[in-house]
Amino acid sequence: MIYTCYEMAADCGADRPEGWRYFIRTYVPVMRKILRRHGAAEDVLQGVVTAVGKPESSLFHSTEPAEERWFVAELRQKVLAELAPSAAAATLDLETVAAALEPLTLLEKQAAWLATLLYDAAESGPMLRMSPATVQKIRDKALELLRGKTDTWSRDMLITEGTALGRLAAAASTPDCLRAKVFLDVLDGRTTWRGREEMEQHAARCWHCMDYYCRLVEVVDLLRGIEPLSEEEAAPFLRLLGVKIEKPGLWKRLVGKAAH
């Protein structure tokens, strides 16, 4: 029997231990990967798990279906929200970015925006099904467009301003913003040509949805190569959440001894 992400979210929302065990074993490695990409030290992880792992969290009580890619995209935002914002003052705002990059297509905006998620051209290329060289050309074009709109231009500004821009985009939702299912249907090829066109037209002018679309694309990378924690590795995190540690049955203990 397959235990789904939907069932896990329901169990965590109801504070059931089986949900927390699955959450910790499966998604602590994802949280660790997110933190490493953003330069956070390993000792931050326990605090993040404690903050994120609350039954009342919107992660576990959402009107969206708890499809794994949606869940990981939301988990990413929860994790980054726990990191202290940079002490340096932001020099780039979302309105400036939107005005500067308005001439770009949606795909070109994605290629530029993935830099704010800290993916270089080599990493972004496979996500967007284009060559890294093409991604870099698009980013160079985007940077030149930005040069004409700001007095504090630098070649790495999309990277250094990335976290702040991501927070601004996440907060810029409107009643017209699209649900996660719309983007997932496009990514999975489950939508009509007209449905895809309507999504692209909206996301091309809505930076909240464009950012969200990029985050759903990013999830594939976040989940790649992830191995669940062992019971021993999961135990300290389960204790943080007050979840009872299951003792292995006699048969498991005998098998474990025989393996040694």
Same domain as 48, residue 80:
yes
Residue 62, domain member (yes or no): yes
Mean pLDDT of 185-204: 93
Residue 157, domain member (yes or no): yes
Residues 219-230: pLDDT tens digits? 988 998 899 999
Mean pLDDT of 232-259: 70
Give the chain's mean pLDDT: 89
Mean pLDDT of 143-157: 92
**pLDDT score, position 54:** 87
- CA 121 to chain CA centroid, Å, is 18
Q: What does residue 231 show for φ and ψ, rounded to 5 degrees?
A: -60, -40
Q: What does residue 15 show for φ and ψ, rounded to 5 degrees?
A: 60, 45
Both tokens of 27, joined, read 């998604």
**pLDDT score, position 22:** 95
- Least confident interval from 6-10, 105-109, 255-259: 255-259
Same domain as 127, residue 47:
no
Residue 210, domain member (yes or no): yes
Mean pLDDT of 95-119: 96
**pLDDT score, position 42:** 87
Indicate the SS3 state at residue 227: coil
**pLDDT score, position 130:** 96
**pLDDT score, position 96:** 93
CA dist 18 and 23 (Å) reads: 9
Q: Which residues, at least 6 apart from 124, have a Cβ–Cβ distance to it below 8 Å? A: 111, 114, 115, 132, 135
How many domains is the chain partitioned into structurally?
Answer: 2
Q: Which of 100, 95, 48 is nearest to 76 (CA)?
A: 48
Same domain as 170, residue 103:
yes
CA dist 163 and 169 (Å) reads: 10
Same domain as 219, residue 99:
yes
Same domain as 101, residue 53:
no
In the chain, which ranges are continuous DSSP H helix?
A: 5-13, 17-37, 45-52, 68-81, 94-100, 106-113, 121-128, 132-147, 157-160, 162-170, 180-187, 193-205, 207-223, 231-240, 250-259
Residues 39-80: pLDDT tens digits? 888 889 999 999 998 888 888 987 776 689 999 999 999 999
Confidence of residue 244 (pLDDT cuts 50, 70, 90): confident
Residue 250, domain member (yes or no): no
Same domain as 132, residue 206:
yes
- Least confident interval from 45-54, 83-92, 127-136: 83-92
Same domain as 160, residue 210:
yes
Which amino acid would we find at residue 166? Answer: G
**pLDDT score, position 85:** 66
Same domain as 120, residue 62:
no
Residue 257, domain member (yes or no): no
pLDDT at 87 over 60: no
Same domain as 64, residue 10:
yes
Q: Which domain holds residue 72?
A: 5-85+227-243
**pLDDT score, position 251:** 42
Mean pLDDT of 92-110: 95
Q: Which of 220, 196, 213, 181 is nearest to 110 (CA)?
A: 213
Q: Which of 241, 233, 236 is nearest to 50 (CA)?
A: 241
pLDDT at 254 over 50: no
Same domain as 118, residue 41:
no
| 76 and 222 Cβ atoms separated by less than 8 Å | yes
Same domain as 48, residue 129:
no
Q: Write the Ramachandran bin of 150: left for phi over 0, alpha for psi from -120 to 50, otherwise beta.
A: beta
Residue 152, domain member (yes or no): yes
Same domain as 171, residue 64:
no
| 31 and 45 Cβ atoms separated by less than 8 Å | yes
**pLDDT score, position 256:** 45
Residue 248, domain member (yes or no): no
The alpha carbon dihedral of 194, 223, 6, 56 has a sign of negative
For the whole model, what pTM was predicted?
Answer: 0.86
Both tokens of 42, joined, read 């390993």
Q: What does residue 239 show for φ and ψ, rounded to 5 degrees?
A: -65, -40
Residue 19, domain member (yes or no): yes
pLDDT at 103 over 50: yes
**pLDDT score, position 255:** 41
**pLDDT score, position 132:** 97
CA dist 35 and 74 (Å) reads: 14
**pLDDT score, position 245:** 78
Mean pLDDT of 153-172: 91
- Least confident interval from 67-71, 86-90, 248-252: 248-252
